[in-house]
Amino acid sequence: PLFRKAFEYSDGWVNDARLVALNARDAADRGAIIRTRTKVVSARRDGPTWIIKVQNVLTGDTEEVRARLLVNAAGPWVDHVLQTAVGQNEVHNVRLVQGSHIVVAKKFDDPRAYFFQNKDGRIIFAIPYEEEFTLIGTTDRDYPGDPHDVKISDAEIDYLCAAASEYFAVAVKRSDIVWTYSAVRPLYDDGASKAQEATRDYVLKADGGEGVAPLVNAFGGKITTFRRLAESMLEKIESFLGKRGKPWTHDAPLPGG
């Protein structure tokens, strides 16, 4: 037989935009102030306090807020915030890695997803998608631009079509593609030579304390473990502001859950 062994495991699927909205709703219910369409223009230390200038991007109105501690969890823009708002111009902590996907008409009726070993040593997957389609991905390549502008390249399309065609009875062609999408992974830059080898773990770095307003930065991380990252962040914050209670999110549903 062509295949002698197979392995099966379970994974999750989430609406990422909905997840963000529910987390914001949960935080607001617990007393947080949520500012949408607002960006940080500048952040400066005044002894043990941060003075942060924020701007409403719709109206242009600005205001200053003060805080005892500042958390920078801007994802792919985390270094950008450090460079433009905080003034740490030489920092380079994240490696932006692009991942792209193609969607084609349904290639198989099985409800399972499949992983394929590609010739370059990477794997790609084929996942049943929205009942009528198959999602094929992903790629790994360093991305030098603005995360807002990311889109699939011709080389990535060719790569995914060729890789999938090695396994499907009918080859996947460009004309089969009904949709594509791309995103940027903000991976912690650990010096790996290839994008696919960069660590997927998150790294938290802090500075300040002892009379200097603390700054805690979150580099890397995945949506799969976002609550664990958040717990780690709170543990880091506690080292500056003191303990506020025990972790509780491991069994707490989000609103509507």
Which residue intervals of the chain bear CATH 3.30.9.10? 94-188
The candidate with the shortest Cα–Cα distance to 67, out of 46, 38, 84, is 46
Q: What is the pTM assigned to this prediction?
A: 0.87
Q: How does pLDDT run across 42-86, given as a tens digit for each residue?
A: 999 999 999 999 999 999 999 999 999 999 999 999 999 999 999
As annotated, the residues of the chain forming the CATH 3.50.50.60 domain(s) are 16-89+199-241
* Strands 70-72 vs 212-219: parallel, antiparallel or unpaired: parallel
Q: What CA–CA distance (Å, rounded) separates 161 from 173? A: 6
- What is the predicted pLDDT for the residue at 60? 98
* C-alpha 73, offset from chain centre: 10
Fold type of domain 94-188: D-Amino Acid Oxidase; Chain A, domain 2 (3.30.9)
Q: What is 16-89+199-241's CATH number?
A: 3.50.50.60
DSSP state letter for 82:
I
Give CA–CA dist 27/246, Å, rounded.
Answer: 17
SS3 call for 142: strand
Instruction: Pull the structure tokens for residue 69.
Output: 């501690």
How do residues 207-237 score in pLDDT, each as one tens digit?
A: 998 899 999 999 999 898 899 999 999 999 9
